[in-house]
Amino acid sequence: MTIPDYQSLMLPVLQIAARGEIRVPAAAEVLADELGLTAEQREEMLPSGRQRLLHNRMHWAKFYMFKAGLIDQPRRGRFVASDAGRTLLAQNPARIDVKLLRQIPEFEAFYQTAILGRTPDVAEAEAGPDVPGDAIASATPEEQIEAAHQALQSALRAELLERILQNSPGFFEQVIVDLLVAMGYGGSHRNAAEQLGRSGDGGVDGVINEDRLGLDRVYVQAKRYAPGSSIGRPDVQGFVGSLVGLGATKGVFVTTSSFSQPAIEFVRHLSQRVILIDGARLANLMIEHDVGVRLARAIEFKRLDEDFFSED
């Protein structure tokens, strides 16, 4: 089975909490065992790579039930079912979710202000249907934020490649220069431009210093193809043949489109080190190294510092 959404985890988390005070990591292991999760699922991370997916969903299930008064947190890192939580479990609910929690006045007040962003007077004035309990859906707040971020990144990648294709081949070469310099190659920007500007070596468009002293060099091939086109093995073989003729051991083949599977398999077993950068990876690198993009808005998220509140 897949990892349940955080609302689906509320009931099993409360059931675990009803067995007695427990630490969060131990509860997560119990929960994973009861759900029959695989080792890979237990280690699955959020897209940010900063927290396990199961732990994140369990955290939000526990937090919401704490705000509803169903869970107590008597000590740092520990939680237990409250009297209200045990009373609810005695009713054998089939499911605990946000819709049910909103029937609890304490949680509804929290929900209106913290989740919907309403002040109490506004909530009372509107007094009508608002965001349904499942509108925050199966995703935790962090998952919703990361999904939105991924969507924005995907749109930005597509826009970057589209704008590159709208410009000249010379502009594409300059993009590669800017990117390689931003990644630490080529020494100064001026030297990198001079090196990459050379051509006439068969399948090689340019050469750039791998380090500032020029102790090693990387040969570059760049092809600006429209989406839907694919660089095949013959093109990559031609590039590798040029490397052999030049006595070179390192090469980078960059394209705005993609590489065929035979081309990808071909470079895996070479004595030369050849890196293939397709359009998606090119756009990702440009975003990562701030080439052709600029910061529009930064949002900072903070977590509670448990150590600060520890009196041990």
Which residues sit opposite 231 in a β-bridge?
259
Quickly name the fold that domain 168-288 has: Trna Endonuclease; Chain: A, domain 1 (3.40.1350)
| Exposure of 171 in the CB half-sphere (CA atoms within 13 A) | 12
Whether 227 has a pLDDT exceeding 80, the answer reads: no
CA distance 178 to 17: 55
Q: What is the pLDDT of residues 244-258, one digit of tens each?
A: 888 888 899 999 999
Residue 13 near residue 67 (C-beta atoms within 8 A): no
Q: What is the pLDDT of residues 187-208, one digit of tens each?
A: 666 666 555 555 444 456 778 8
Percent of the chain beyond pLDDT 90? 40
Q: Kindly tell me the sign of the dihedral angle through the C-alpha atoms of 141, 142, 147, 150.
A: positive
Residue with tokens 């998606």: 280
Q: Where are the domains of the chain?
A: 10-139, 168-288
